[in-house]
Structure 1
Amino acid sequence: MRHFFYARVSSKDQSLERQISTAKEIGIAEEYIFIEKASGKDFKRPEYQLMKRMFRDGDILYIKSLDRLGRNKQMILDEWQELIKERKIDITVLDMPLLDTTKYKDLNGIESLISDLILQLLSYMAEDERKRIKERQEEGIRTAIQNGVKFGRKKMEINETFKSVYPEWKQNKITAVEAMKRVGMKSNTFYRRVKEYESSL
Structure 2
Amino acid sequence: MYVRAYLRASTMEQDAGRARADLEQFCHERELRIAATYEENESGASLRRPQLFRLLSDSQPGDVLLIEQVDRLSRLSEDEWEKLKAAIKDRGVKIVALDLPTSHMMLKTEDVFTGRMFEAINAMLLDMLAAIARKDYEDRRRRQAQGIAKAKAEGRMKGRREDTKRNDAIMAMLANGQSWNTIVQATGASRSTLSRLSQRLKSSSPVS
- Check whether TM > 0.5: yes
> For 1:122-137, what aligned pairs fall within 5 Å after superposition?
122-137=129-144
Matched with 1:149 is: 156
Instruction: Report the TM-score, using the length of structure 1 for normalisation.
Output: 0.66
Identity of aligned residues (%): 19
Question: What residue in structure 1 maps to residue 103 of structure 2?
Answer: 100
Aligned residues: 186
**Normalization by structure 2: what TM-score?**
0.65
The residue identity in structure 2 corresponding to 1:146 is A
Deviation by residue 1:151-176 (Cα, 9 ceiling, x = unmatched): 4323567xxx79xx69x93xxxx335
Code of the residue aligned with 1:20 in structure 2: it is: R
User: SS where residue 4 of structure 2 aligns?
Assistant: strand
> C-alpha distance in 1, partners of 2:5/2:130?
20
Matching residue within 50, 57, 60 for 1:55: 60
Counterpart residue number, 1:113: 120
Choose which of 56, 63, 68 in structure 2 pairs with 1:64. 68
Does the CA-based 8 Å contact 2:7-2:39 persist in structure 1?
yes
Conservation of the 8 A alpha-carbon contact between 2:6 and 2:37: yes
Alpha-carbon displacement from aligned partner over 1:35-78 (angstroms, at most 9, x marks no partner): 24364532662663355443233x33211222333441433344
Structure 2 gap ranges (5+): none
8 Å CA contact retained: 1:43, 1:49 = no
Q: Which residue of 2 aligns with 1:175?
A: 177
Distance 1:82 1:102 in 2: 22
Q: Which has the higher contact order (CA 8 A, sep 6+)?
A: 2
SS of the residue 2:95 aligns to: strand
Q: Which has the larger radius of gyration?
A: 1
What secondary structure is seen at the aligned counterpart in 2 of 1:110?
helix
Matched-pair contact (CA < 8 Å) for 2:7–2:72: yes
Distance 2:163 2:4 in 1: 54
Q: Distance in 2 between matches of 1:33 and 1:119?
A: 23
Which one-letter code corresponds to 1:79 in the other structure? L
* Equivalence for 1:19: 19
Please give the alpha-carbon distance, in whole angstroms, between the structure 2 residues aligned to 1:46 and 1:118. Answer: 24
* RMSD, matched Cα: 4.1
Distance across 2 between alignment mates of 1:68 and 1:125: 12
Q: Residue 136 of structure 2: SS of its match in structure 1?
A: helix
Q: 1:13 to 1:143 in 2, by over 3 A?
A: closer
For 2:195, which of 181, 188, 192 is the aligned residue? 188
CA distance in 1, matches of 2:133, 2:2: 29
Q: SS where residue 100 of structure 1 aligns? A: helix
**C-alpha displacement of 1:117:** 1.9
Name the aligned partner's letter for residue 55 of structure 1. Q
Q: Against the structure 1 CA distance between its residues 149 and 188, is the aligned structure 2 distance closer, same or farther, given a 3 Å change threshold?
A: farther
